[in-house]
């Protein structure tokens, strides 16, 4: 998959999981891994970027005697999901057009 | 490999790659490994499930814009050059950028030289006023003395005396302010160039 496209999809995945509720790093990797391949090293820069873009907020809380970071989606993050879904509809239209064109030529 | 050993290796790798938020990154992987251990995986296995340090750094760099990566690389090279007195990247950039930086450097040098000349010209011009007044007074007195020898007419001699007294008086009157002004302007020149040098550096 194209790196740029994959990055956009992973952004949307992280935000979509967070829309369900607050989460932390390991759980995010576990949840997202069920439908797209993601590793800790892929997630880390995504979280940093989304935080910098104010699409999520981070809070630290004590858990089993250590600190754990919890991530929550912001309104900008929710708006980004809507935006990505809108873009995706356009991609699907283009995909269908390309597939039909190809089908016509092969027929 | 145990968690602390992995995190230590990661820190070394991140430092070598000049990544800024090392502590934050270490905390993230510390949390990830700890969460795995708490989910029932052994420490060795939890660490083994992590990607290699090289892969982590590579993924981190992929997220950064190319311009930021280049800036980091140049910054690192600059720091190395300062510390060790060498910098291959700087030498390469200096050679590649030769057609651009040389004309700019010449223009800057010419401008600074012009500014230096202009500032000293102001000092000389101000001082010249004093010298001219003094010289006029001396010449006037000389002309007045010549009047007694018959070389110059009485009218011219008296006019010269008047002019000598006027310019001489003016020279005495203006000596202190002009001398102070010259000293002040001359004193400003090194500080102006020190500021310019500091700004360039």
**pLDDT-based confidence at A56, cuts 50/70/90?**
very high
B38/A39 Cβ within 8 A: no
**pLDDT-based confidence at B188, cuts 50/70/90?**
confident
Q: Are B13 and B26 a contacting pair, CB within 8 Å?
A: no
Q: Which of A91, A47, A53, A94 is nearest to B29 (CA)?
A: A47
Cβ-Cβ pairs closer than 8 A, A with B, add up to 51
Residue with tokens 């750094």: B57
Residues of chain A with C-beta less than 8 angstroms from the C-beta of B35: 24-27, 68
| Residue A105: per-residue pLDDT | 64
Domains in chain A, number: 1
A26/B35 Cβ within 8 A: yes
Report the C-alpha gap between A31 and B181 in whole angstroms.
78
| Closest approach of B32 to chain A, Cα-based (Å) | 6
| Residue A102: per-residue pLDDT | 83
**pLDDT-based confidence at B56, cuts 50/70/90?**
confident
Contact status of A52 with chain B (Cβ, < 8 Å): no
3-class secondary-structure state, position A5 = helix
Q: Alpha-carbon dihedral of residues B197, B198, B199, B201, nearest 10 degrees?
A: 80
pLDDT tens string B141-156? 988 888 888 877 888 8
Strand partners, A73: A56
Nearest-CB residue to B63 (from A49, A66, A69): A49
Nearest-CB residue to B36 (from A26, A46, A69): A26
The residue of chain B with its CA nearest to that of A50 is B63
**pLDDT-based confidence at B194, cuts 50/70/90?**
confident
Q: Are B140 and B116 a contacting pair, CB within 8 Å?
A: no
Show contacts of B102-109: CB within 8 Å, 24+ apart: B108/B200
A46/B32 Cβ within 8 A: no
Nearest-CB residue to B25 (from A39, A44, A69): A44
| Closest approach of B59 to chain A, Cα-based (Å) | 6
CA distances from A44 to B9, B32, B136 (A): 18, 10, 83
Q: Are A74 and A56 a contacting pair, CB within 8 Å?
A: yes
Q: Is the pLDDT of residue B60 over 80?
A: no
B60/A66 Cβ within 8 A: no
Kindly report the CATH number assigned to the domain that includes residue A26. 1.10.10.10
| Residue A41: per-residue pLDDT | 86
Helix H, strand E, coil C: the string for B6-33 is: HHHHHHHHHHHCCCCCHHHHHHHHHHHH
| Residue B73: per-residue pLDDT | 62
Query: CB B31: neighbour CB atoms within 10 A?
Result: 20
Selected residue with higher pLDDT from A104 and A34: A34
**pLDDT-based confidence at B31, cuts 50/70/90?**
very high
3-class secondary-structure state, position A70 = strand
CA distances from B156 to B133, B147, B169 (A): 19, 8, 19
Strand partners, A43: none
Contact status of A3 with chain B (Cβ, < 8 Å): yes
Specify the range with the lowest mean pLDDT, choosing from A40-44, A70-74, B15-19. B15-19
Q: Are A76 and A82 a contacting pair, CB within 8 Å?
A: no
What is the residue range of A31's domain?
A: 3-106
Selected residue with higher pLDDT from A64 and B79: A64
Residues 6+ apart with CB under 8 A from A41: B51, B55, B56, B59, B60
| Residue B193: per-residue pLDDT | 81
The residue of chain B with its CA nearest to that of A64 is B38
CB-facing half-sphere around the CA of B172: CA atoms within 13 A = 7
Does the pTM of the predicted model rise above 0.90?
no
Q: Is the pLDDT of residue A54 over 70?
A: yes
Strands (E), A1-107: 23-24, 56-63, 66-73
Which pair of structure tokens corresponds to residue A61? Answer: 């809380």
Domain ranges in chain B are 1-63, 65-96, 100-200
């Amino acid at each position: 998959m194209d790196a740029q496209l994959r990055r956009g999809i992973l952004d949307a995945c992280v935000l979509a999981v967070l829309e369900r509720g607050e989460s932390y790093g390991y759980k995010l990797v576990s949840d997202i891994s069920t439908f797209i391949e993601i590793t800790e090293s892929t997630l880390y820069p995504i979280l940093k970027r989304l935080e910098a873009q104010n699409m999520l907020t981070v809070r630290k809380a004590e858990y089993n005697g250590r600190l754990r970071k919890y991530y929550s989606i912001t309104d900008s993050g929710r708006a980004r999901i809507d935006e990505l879904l809108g873009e995706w509809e356009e991609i699907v239209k283009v995909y269908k057009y390309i597939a039909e064109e190809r089908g016509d030529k092969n027929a | 490999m145990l968690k602390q050993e992995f995190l230590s290796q990661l820190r070394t790798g991140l430092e070598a790659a000049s990544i800024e938020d090392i502590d934050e990154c270490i905390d993230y992987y510390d949390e990830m490994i700890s969460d795995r251990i708490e989910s029932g995986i052994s420490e060795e296995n939890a660490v083994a499930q992590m990607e290699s340090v090289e892969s982590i750094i590579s993924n981190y760099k992929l997220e950064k814009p190319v311009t930021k990566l280049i800036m980091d690389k140049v910054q690192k090279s600059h720091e190395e050059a300062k510390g060790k007195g060498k910098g291959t990247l700087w030498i390469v950039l200096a050679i590649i950028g030769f057609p651009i930086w040389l004309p700019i450097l010449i223009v800057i040098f010419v401008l600074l030289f012009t500014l230096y000349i202009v500032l000293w010209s102001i000092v000389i011009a101000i001082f010249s006023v004093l010298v001219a007044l003094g010289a006029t007074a001396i010449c006037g007195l000389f002309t007045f003395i010549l009047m007694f020898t018959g070389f110059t007419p009485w009218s011219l001699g008296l006019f010269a005396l008047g002019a000598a007294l006027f310019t001489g008086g003016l020279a005495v009157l203006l000596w202190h302010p002009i001398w102070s002004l010259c000293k002040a302007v001359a004193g400003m020149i090194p500080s102006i160039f020190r500021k310019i040098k500091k700004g360039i550096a």
